[in-house]
Chains A and B, each alone.
Chain A
Amino acid sequence: MSTTDPAAPVRATLRAVFGRGLPAFAALAVAVALTAALASPPDRLQGELVRLMYVHVPAAWTAFLAYGVTLVAGLVWLWRRAAVWDRLAAASAEAGVFFTGLAIAMGAVWGRPTWGVWWTWDARLVTTALLFFVYLGYLALRRAVDDPVTRARRSAVFGVVAFAMVPLVHFSVLWWRTLHQPPSLLRPAAPAIGGGMLTALLLSVLAFTALFVLIVRTRMRLTAANAALDVAELTGAEPVAGDAVTAPRREATR
């Protein structure tokens, strides 16, 4: 007698949505990064608070990466007109907004004990918040358009305009006198960070990048499935309205 596992369809669905290898790799990368972050030395001035860096900085980097992917995917959509590029741009923008919000929230948590305030009118903070709102606008634009081609076209164009904010955020700490520290890694001179901390930071960046790829791939699969469902509904898999109504028949005359 054969037994059927009731959880099998659920597992199959989860595998189809998330995959197998990438979630395992992302989980491993997160575990290694977490271990490295906990094992890294405390800062001479900030003490244990410096460990917030291993979330705050990778989140900001991943957000920049996400907006870069949105830009490139939008440009490729304008060139090739394939729906997959629009799905990639949308999924990446959603992930970017999430990581920007995470960077802002972690920055506020870090700023309270070090600067004494949750928020201050600093160029880096303000431009990052504006970047968050610009891409919220991008997502709002996508929600406002029903037609997939029009939505892809308009959001691709706006994605190019919106990306102009990214260099403004990155260079804000150099162009203005800010409370926020200047770049420690992406600068012409040698990195201004110790070896142990640098290793932990790079591992955190790798873990966040793996999470980003997983989120974007999952979101793209869900969007594609949703689109396929819409098409199936439109092509007559469901009975149309009024289908149950039959034409009246004349009663038999005696």
Chain B
Amino acid sequence: MSVVPPLTQALVLAGKDLRLERRTGEAFLVVAPFGAVALFMVPLAVGADTPLLATLGPALFWVVVLLFGVLVTVRGSATDGPAQRAVLSLVGVTPRVRLAGRAFGNTVLLLGFQAVIAPVALVLYAPEPAGWVWLLPMVPLVAVGLGTLGALADLVSEGLAGRAVLGPLLVAPITVPLLLGATGVLDAARYGRPAWPWLVLVVTVDLAAALLAAWCARHLEDQS
């Protein structure tokens, strides 16, 4: 009997999460429109000051990505019941692989979420084009970091009554370095400063989140 490698197991679990999302449409039919509404409401509160909104645009995009992205990671379909967990355990899927699968699925969904929100921000705010090339590495790096931290919070708040609120409360303050890095590259590019330290910051956060998640998974699944 051949043993399925852990990476393949994680990818299969991520595929399962994505199929579930395709059926429920929670991330793209509920959270994404909600995020777009937030982007729409800010100018109403700030006022029709076009230069100010153009300056605020990139920052608001990232705030919406992080705050509403957390909702994507704690979506209802990202919950494994006790029976499902038991089956996965019996077939040899370790907690670490299960968490990795959830993180992979989250990352793909967050990339899609950003792809939906970005055009809305572009149309509503018309931000300056300076430094946009830095977004090419930053968008996937933020998705990886948020996806991993979200998977961790999802596991910590699994099965709890207030999970939909508790999960974001646990994750949102910890994602601040991602916000600083994502907005920092654009500011650095605009003012002619080196932007790579912000990329290093986000890569460091991603690695730290991955290591923490790998360490935590075993303890969180331990039912002894």
A residues contacting B by CB (< 8 A) are 78, 127, 130-131, 133-134, 136-137, 140-141, 144-145, 153-154, 156-158, 160-162, 164-165, 168
- Are B216 and A141 in contact, CB atoms less than 8 angstroms apart? no
User: CA A148 – CA B208 in complex, angstroms?
Assistant: 29
* Chain B residues in 8 Å Cβ range of A141: 156-157, 166, 170
- Are A134 and B156 in contact, CB atoms less than 8 angstroms apart? no
- Are B222 and A153 in contact, CB atoms less than 8 angstroms apart? yes
* Chain B residues in 8 Å Cβ range of A78: 219
- Are B152 and A161 in contact, CB atoms less than 8 angstroms apart? yes
Within residues 64 to 94 of chain B, which ones have a CB less than 8 A from any CB in chain A? none
Minimum CB–CB distance for B98 against chain A, Å: 15
Which residue of B177, B215, B220 contacts A154 across the interface (Cβ within 8 Å)?
Answer: B220
B residues contacting A by CB (< 8 A) are 152, 156-157, 160-162, 166, 169-170, 173-174, 176-177, 208, 212, 215-216, 219-220, 222
Given contacts A144-B161, A145-B160, A168-B177, contact A157 B170 (CB under 8 A): no
Which residue of A131, A144, A168 contacts B160 across the interface (Cβ within 8 Å)?
Answer: A144
Minimum CB–CB distance for A214 against chain B, Å: 29
- Are A153 and B220 in contact, CB atoms less than 8 angstroms apart? yes
User: CA A216 – CA B59 in complex, angstroms?
Assistant: 41
- Are A161 and B216 in contact, CB atoms less than 8 angstroms apart? yes
- Are A165 and B219 in contact, CB atoms less than 8 angstroms apart? no
User: CA A144 – CA B156 in complex, angstroms?
Assistant: 11
Question: Smallest CB-CB separation from A157: which chain B residue?
Answer: B216
User: CA A133 – CA B170 in complex, angstroms?
Assistant: 9
* Chain B residues in 8 Å Cβ range of A160: 212, 215-216
Greatest chain B CB density within 10 A among A136, A154, A162 is at A154
* Chain B residues in 8 Å Cβ range of A164: 174, 208, 212
* Chain B residues in 8 Å Cβ range of A133: 169, 173
Question: Smallest CB-CB separation from A133: which chain B residue?
Answer: B173
Which residue of A144, A157, A162 contacts B162 across the interface (Cβ within 8 Å)?
Answer: A144
* Chain B residues in 8 Å Cβ range of A131: 173
- Are B177 and A144 in contact, CB atoms less than 8 angstroms apart? no
User: CA A133 – CA B174 in complex, angstroms?
Assistant: 10
Question: Smallest CB-CB separation from B158: which chain A residue?
Answer: A154
- Are B170 and A130 in contact, CB atoms less than 8 angstroms apart? no
- Are B169 and A137 in contact, CB atoms less than 8 angstroms apart? yes
Question: Smallest CB-CB separation from B205: which chain A residue?
Answer: A164
Can you identify 12 A-B contacts, CB atoms within 8 angstroms? Answer: A78-B219, A131-B173, A134-B170, A136-B169, A140-B166, A141-B157, A144-B161, A153-B222, A160-B212, A161-B174, A161-B216, A165-B174
* Chain B residues in 8 Å Cβ range of A127: 176
User: CA A240 – CA B55 in complex, angstroms?
Assistant: 67
- Are B173 and A130 in contact, CB atoms less than 8 angstroms apart? yes
- Are A161 and B166 in contact, CB atoms less than 8 angstroms apart? no
Minimum CB–CB distance for B194 against chain A, Å: 15
Minimum CB–CB distance for B205 against chain A, Å: 9
- Are B212 and A154 in contact, CB atoms less than 8 angstroms apart? no
* Chain A residues in 8 Å Cβ range of B174: 134, 161-162, 164-165
- Are A137 and B170 in contact, CB atoms less than 8 angstroms apart? yes
User: CA A131 – CA B166 in complex, angstroms?
Assistant: 16
User: CA A217 – CA B222 in complex, angstroms?
Assistant: 29
